[in-house]
Amino acid sequence: MILGAHESVAGGLHLAFDRCRRDGADALQLWVRSSRQWAARPLSEEDVARFRAAHRAYRRPLIPLAAHASYLINLAAPDDAIRERSTEALADECVRAEALGVGLVIVHPGAAMGSPPEVALARVGQALRRVCDAVRGTKVRLCLEITAGQGSSVGCSFEQLAEMLQRSGERRLGVCLDTQHMLAAGLDWTTEEGYERVFDGFDRTIGLPHLRAFHLNDSKRPLGARVDRHARIGDGAIGLGPFRRLLLDPRFAALPGFLETPPFDDGEESYAQGLARLRSLLS
């Protein structure tokens, strides 16, 4: 697996590569627009040029890049206006990613908010189809992230992810698996037997070729808690050991794995520690 982290873009998108260098990241996930606001300043030619130059200068061959879509996006929303705004925002995320040379856009599918799950899944599928139509001809691959099952969020099982992908009718879509979300959703990948069961189930239900990235996070809550609460690598309910099996799996050798772990108490990022701990498992 290619190990990286979700780095800050404070001060400019291109500065994320300085933080990659600080932490020793071989892959980068970032925000390409605000994660908490609908409004987004258009990318300037200078923004794009600086980012692409920093990417080229960082390392050869070029490291994998992914954008995490805004948390405001809810493709399953029963409110038509919110769903429309979410669809437009996600299409804009993909356009920005294409301009910057970012290959993946990873999105949480959304929340049903009182709607029957099957209706919510159908809404997501329709929205994904519209987004893909809007960015037809680009190289960006849009990925659904498995969720922890918190509240009314959809996408917390392989079956729900498969249903949304199937309803979209788009073969270019992929999946991002978050290690904490899987545990919280009741998918115990941490034991040898559970690991085989989980990934065999993914292959049967969705297909391993659709798996495009991982989020590597420990968990503050136990198996099946259905709560999205990340912990630093090795400090949570997953522990360090189970990550070794995942990192050494040859099926995932070419996939990026991005840390999204919380900072230390003093506010400093934990990524350098997390990446060092993960790499210690490979020696």
pLDDT at 192 over 90: yes
Task: Compute the average pLDDT of residues 95-121.
Answer: 98
Task: Compute the average pLDDT of residues 43-65.
Answer: 97
Q: What is the pLDDT of residue 101?
A: 98
Tell me the CA distances in angstroms from 201 to 187, 206, 208, one per residue in order. Answer: 10, 8, 10
Each residue's pLDDT tens digit, 32-48: 999 889 999 999 999 99
How large a percentage of the chain has pLDDT more than 70? Answer: 100
Q: How sure is the predictor about 209, in pLDDT bands with cuts at 50, 70 and 90? A: very high
Let me know if 55 is a catalytic residue: no
pLDDT at 283 over 90: no
Residue spans per domain, the chain: 2-280
Let me know if 108 is a catalytic residue: yes
Instruction: Quote the mean pLDDT of the chain.
Output: 97
Q: Note the CATH architecture for domain 2-280.
A: Alpha-Beta Barrel (3.20)
Count other Cβ atoms within 10 Å, centred on residue 138. Answer: 15
Let me know if 14 is a catalytic residue: no
Let me know if 230 is a catalytic residue: yes
| Burial call 157-187: b when 16+ CB within 10 Å, e when fewer | bbebbbbbbebbebeebbbbbbbbbbbbbeb
Count other Cβ atoms within 10 Å, centred on residue 280. Answer: 11
CB 64 within 8 A of CB 20: no
Given the residues 46, 56, 71, 79, the one annotated as active site: 71
Task: Compute the average pLDDT of residues 105-111.
Answer: 98
How large a percentage of the chain has pLDDT more than 90? Answer: 98
